[in-house]
Amino acid sequence: MYNFDVETPGTVADAVAAIGRDEAQALGGGQTLIPTLKQRLASPSVLVSLSGIAEMKGVCMGDDGRLCIGGATTHATVAREAAQYPALAAMASHIGDPAVRNRGTIGGSLANNDPSACYPAGVLGSGATVVTNTREIASDEYFQGMFDTALEEGEIITEVRFPIPEAANYQKFVQPASRFALVGVFVAKFSGGVRVAVTGASEEGVFRWSEAEAALSSDFSTGAIDGLSLSGEGMISDLHGTGAYRAHLVGVMTKRAVDAAA
């Protein structure tokens, strides 16, 4: 690792000021960034740690009935405290392993937008809103492709707001070596319709499977997606699975999620 300085601001305002300086970068739980620094794939001169900012931590219910999660809240805290949204808590409880969950944060996961990460599916599947120090970003605008998001340079995710569906479930087919999702599907049924978000599969990162959404919105049962299939075109192909295999898994995981949610 190249050397860097570490700053530990106590407020969002101080963190924004520190990150605004040249070659500074936010440090969440470090579960992605520290391995990246070790490989010298990033070389910030200052890391601005967000883990001491109390206003960015914790889970609460907003007045509008949405579940609010601070941007620096760990996966372990969400697993323990997001009881009002059990499918989301269950998803968080299966990210990586216990030590990763004690450090890794929702903001770090969303800022990174790994194509195999779990939170992007939970956020897009729920139609959640990503709140930053400057604005609110709808999940449909937030994810812009593999490792790409709507975040501007120096923008910090301070909170994520989740509308709570009538029923929801996340099914993850674990890639056993990395413990990320080989394919993961988040299904959420709202009074206005069903959302289906898929991670791990597409070369474009997390996406909504619109055919399944339409079918499930008129009939929320596994039978509704029986005839549907996705093409392996544009799907990730690597030593863990071909694009066609991943495309097939999307259907299987979607059915399992519907089954578990219904």
Partner 1 sequence: MTKIEMNVNGRAASGEVEGRTLLSSFLRDELRLTGTHVGCDTSQCGACVVHVNGEAVKSCTMLAVEAAGSEVTTVEGMANADGSLSVIQQAFQDHHGLQCGFCTPGMVMSAAALLKENPKPSEAEVRDYLEGNICRCTGYHNIVKAIMAASGQDVAPVAAE
Ligand X SMILES: Cc1cc2nc3c(=O)[nH]c(=O)nc-3n(C[C@H](O)[C@H](O)[C@H](O)COP(=O)(O)OP(=O)(O)OC[C@H]3O[C@@H](n4cnc5c(N)ncnc54)[C@H](O)[C@@H]3O)c2cc1C
Told to check if 25 binds partner 1 by CB under 8 A, we report: no
Cα–Cα nearest to 134, from 110, 153, 106: 153
Task: For residue 147, give the amino acid letter.
Answer: F
Grouping H, G, I as helix, E, B as strand and the rest as coil, residue 88 is helix
CB 213 within 8 A of CB 193: yes
Which residue in the block uniquely carries the two structure tokens 């080989």? 182
Residue 232 neighbours by CB under 8 Å, 6+ apart: 242, 243, 244, 245, 246, 247
DSSP 170: E
Total residues belonging to the chain? 262
CB 195 within 8 A of CB 213: yes
Among 10, 20, 21, 38, binds partner 1 (CB under 8 A): 38
Of ligand X, partner 1, none, which one sits near residue 24, judging by CB under 5 to 8 A according to partner kind? none
Told to check if 100 binds partner 1 by CB under 8 A, we report: yes
Of ligand X, partner 1, none, which one sits near residue 108, judging by CB under 5 to 8 A according to partner kind? ligand X
Alpha helix (H) residue ranges in the chain: 12-19, 33-38, 75-81, 86-92, 98-103, 106-112, 119-126, 139-142, 210-218, 243-261
Told to check if 91 binds ligand X by CB under 6 A, we report: no
Contact map string, positions 55 to 94, toward partner 1, x by CB under 8 A: ---------------------x------------------
Which residue in the block uniquely carries the two structure tokens 């999620």? 257
Among 80, 161, 179, 240, binds ligand X (CB under 6 A): 179
Of partner 1, ligand X, none, which one sits near residue 237, judging by CB under 5 to 8 A according to partner kind? none
Nearer to partner 1, 34 or 61 (CB): 34
Binding site for partner 1 (CB under 8 A): 1-6, 8, 27, 30-31, 34-35, 37-38, 47, 49, 51, 76, 96-100, 102-103, 179
Binding site for ligand X (CB under 6 A): 25-33, 50, 71-72, 95-96, 100, 103-105, 107-109, 111-112, 114, 117-119, 156-157, 179-180
